[in-house]
Amino acid sequence: MTMTRIIDASLKLKIWKDTHGQDLAEYALMAGFLAAATGFTLPAVAADIATVLRKVVAVLSDTPPDSAPV
């Protein structure tokens, strides 16, 4: 029983310290921020950004692009 708790605690610490994929998440957040900033500063580009994001959401959720929310 005690050994199981020690093993569980060590696994939780390993998972907590794991930073694999952190860079990808940071790049995705930065890309989203840049897209939002561009959309706010250049209203003519905002419609194109919304179209691209709508297509991305449709691909990720397997729904038609016209019905995907942005």
Question: For residue range 39-50, what is the model confidence (pLDDT) as tens digits?
Answer: 788 877 778 888
6, part of any domain: no
Report pLDDT for 67: 57
Q: Which domain holds residue 48?
A: 19-70
31, part of any domain: yes
Q: Which of 56, 37, 54 is nearest to 45 (CA)?
A: 37
45, part of any domain: yes
- What mean pLDDT, rounded, does the chain reach? 76
Report pLDDT for 57: 86
Rounded-to-integer distance, Cα 32 and Cα 25, Å? 11
Total number of domains constituting the chain: 1
56, part of any domain: yes
14, part of any domain: no
Helix (H) or strand (E) holding 40: helix 22-41
